[in-house]
């Protein structure tokens, strides 16, 4: 039986990947290596936790010895790295060191171990934020050749991790692939992110704080579309290449807020404009023609319907929500969710 190491597999996107991978690949053992911080929630995978083909190992990719131990215990055929500090506001407001430790040093530890283990494919999950910001009135999009221009400690740390991956391919021939995805949404997303945060605030009748004028634009993709793209990349992608993954659904943050309020039949007056975030990128847009043409992937989920389903999921899964909020408040007791 082949083995795939999924780092950060208890997080939002990682847990969906683990669940779908187990469903689709009966000939694989999935080893989930996760630090289990507030964002790494074992409750995300209760439905597969007792599977004989799934094992959860608690560990930090920034811990060299822990990484070496999991590679020694399990012979890894493939590695997919979701493990990352990812909340931009946290990187700006006092936690930048955590982002450097995980997103740079942690990636280095994984690459070094993967090289020694002779893995067949290493997939680095990155972000469109490494490319910087697009003009809001422009029709241009990020493609795989777009120059990196990170504008926050988060995106800078992710860019550095990506470059380490490409260096390991060029120097050692390590079979890596890097992916850049647009903003994800769906079930099990931790409450500090925009969509679940707005849903939970709206449910409680609290104001929805919207940065600046609310017109910042993001390209949105359903998490299951992202997962299906990653499976294509894992098995059909070309070593050393980068693939952009987009939903093709650009929407301003103000429209996301209004859609959530509409789904919950809450008044638009709950929207509260607040001072803009430092270095707030104006627009992201992904050109995903490469993965569509070369690997035959395309998204299936449309935002109009799937966002309403996501709102309903948070409304109907209050036990999960309470646990996730509790974990978040352990590190930030003052957060308002």
Instruction: pLDDT band for 324, please (50, 70, 90 cuts).
Output: confident
Residue 288 lies in a domain: yes
Between CA 159 and CA 61 the distance in angstroms is: 17
Residue 325 lies in a domain: no
State which residues form the domain around 153.
2-184+220-248+278-300
**Given this model, what pLDDT does residue 132 score?**
94
Instruction: pLDDT band for 334, please (50, 70, 90 cuts).
Output: low
Domain total for the chain? Answer: 1
pLDDT higher than 90, residue 173 = yes
For helices 12-24 and 223-236, give the axis angle rounded to 10 degrees. 60
Over range 182-210, report the average pLDDT. Answer: 95
Given its phi and psi angles, is residue 295 left (phi above 0), alpha (psi -120 to 50 degrees) or beta?
alpha
Instruction: pLDDT band for 332, please (50, 70, 90 cuts).
Output: low
**Given this model, what pLDDT does residue 86 score?**
77
Q: Are 18 and 82 in contact (CB under 8 A)?
A: no
Between CA 268 and CA 274 the distance in angstroms is: 15
128 is a catalytic site residue: yes
Per-position b or e across 294-329, b if 16+ CB within 10 A of its CB: ebebebebebeebbeebbebbeeeeebbeebbebbe
SS3 126: strand
Residue 46 lies in a domain: yes
| Bridge-based pairing state of the strands 242-245 and 176-181 | parallel
**Residue entry with tokens 């946290």:** 90
**Given this model, what pLDDT does residue 99 score?**
92
Residue 79 lies in a domain: yes
pLDDT higher than 70, residue 333 = no
Instruction: Write out the two tokens for 122.
Output: 């290493």
Instruction: pLDDT band for 87, please (50, 70, 90 cuts).
Output: confident
Considering the candidates 128, 231, 250, 281, report the single residue annotated as catalytic.
Answer: 128
Q: Would you tell me how many other CB atoms lie within 10 Å of the CB of residue 14?
A: 28
The CA distances from residue 191 to 13, 201, 215, 322, in Å, are: 14, 10, 22, 10
For 264-267, the CB contacts below 8 A with 24+ separation are 264/199, 264/202, 264/203, 264/311, 264/315, 266/202, 266/205
Q: What does the radius of gyration of the chain's CA atoms come to, in whole angstroms?
A: 19
CATH of the domain at 234: 3.40.50.720
Instruction: pLDDT band for 262, please (50, 70, 90 cuts).
Output: very high
Q: Which burial class, exposed, middle or buried, applies to 211 when counting CB atoms under 10 A from its CB (0-12, 13-18, 19+)?
A: middle
Q: Where is average pLDDT lowest: 73-77, 135-139, 185-189? A: 135-139
**Given this model, what pLDDT does residue 277 score?**
85
Give the rounded distance of the alpha carbon of 188 from its chain centre: 12
pLDDT higher than 90, residue 327 = no
Over range 57-72, report the average pLDDT. Answer: 97
**Given this model, what pLDDT does residue 15 score?**
98
Residue 136 lies in a domain: yes
Instruction: Write out the two tokens for 322.
Output: 């309470």
Considering the candidates 34, 60, 85, 129, report the single residue annotated as catalytic.
Answer: 129
Residue 316 lies in a domain: no
**Given this model, what pLDDT does residue 11 score?**
95
Q: What is the pLDDT of residues 138-166, one digit of tens each?
A: 889 999 999 999 999 999 999 999 999 99
Beta bridge partners of 244: 180
Q: What is the pLDDT of residues 13-37, one digit of tens each?
A: 999 999 999 999 999 999 999 999 8
**Given this model, what pLDDT does residue 313 score?**
97
Q: What is the pLDDT of residues 238-260, one digit of tens each?
A: 999 999 999 999 999 999 999 99
Instruction: Write out the two tokens for 286.
Output: 């992904």
The per-type count for the chain, helices as H runs and strands as E runs, is: 12, 12
Considering the candidates 38, 54, 154, 284, report the single residue annotated as catalytic.
Answer: 154
Residue 314 lies in a domain: no
Residue 124 lies in a domain: yes
């Amino acid at each position: 039986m082949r083995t795939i190491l999924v780092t950060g597999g208890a997080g939002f996107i990682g847990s969906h990947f683990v669940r779908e991978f187990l469903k689709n690949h009966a000939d694989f053992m999935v080893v989930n290596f996760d630090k289990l911080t507030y964002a790494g929630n074992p409750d995300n995978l209760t439905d597969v936790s007792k599977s004989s083909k799934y094992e959860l190992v608690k560990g930090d990719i920034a811990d060299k010895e822990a990484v070496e131990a999991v590679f020694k215990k399990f012979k890894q055929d493939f590695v997919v790295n979701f493990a990352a500090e990812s909340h931009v506001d946290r990187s700006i407001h006092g936690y930048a060191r955590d982002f450097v430790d995980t997103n740079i040093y942690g990636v280095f530890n994984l690459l070094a171990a993967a090289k020694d283990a002779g893995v067949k494919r290493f997939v680095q999950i990155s972000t469109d934020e490494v490319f910087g910001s697009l003009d809001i009135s422009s029709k241009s999009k990020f493609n795989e050749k777009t120059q990196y221009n990170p504008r926050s400690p988060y995106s800078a740390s992710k860019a550095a991790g990506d470059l380490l991956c490409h260096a390991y391919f060029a120097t050692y021939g390590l079979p890596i692939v890097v992916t850049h995805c647009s903003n994800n949404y769906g079930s099990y997303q931790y409450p500090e992110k925009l969509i679940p945060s707005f849903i939970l605030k709206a449910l409680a009748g609290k104001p929805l704080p919207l940065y600046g004028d609310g017109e910042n634009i993001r390209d949105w993709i359903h998490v299951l579309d992202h997962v299906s793209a990653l499976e294509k990349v894992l098995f059909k992608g070309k070593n050393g290449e980068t693939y952009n993954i987009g939903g093709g659904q650009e929407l301003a943050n103000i429209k996301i807020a209004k859609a959530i309020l509409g789904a919950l039949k809450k008044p638009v007056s709950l929207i509260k404009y607040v001072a803009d975030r430092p270095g707030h990128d104006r627009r992201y847009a992904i050109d995903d023609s490469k993965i569509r043409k070369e690997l035959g992937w395309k998204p299936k989920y449309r935002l109009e319907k799937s966002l309403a389903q996501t709102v309903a999921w948070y409304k109907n899964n209050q036990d999960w929500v309470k646990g996730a909020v509790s974990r978040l408040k352990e590190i930030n007791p003052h957060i308002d969710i």
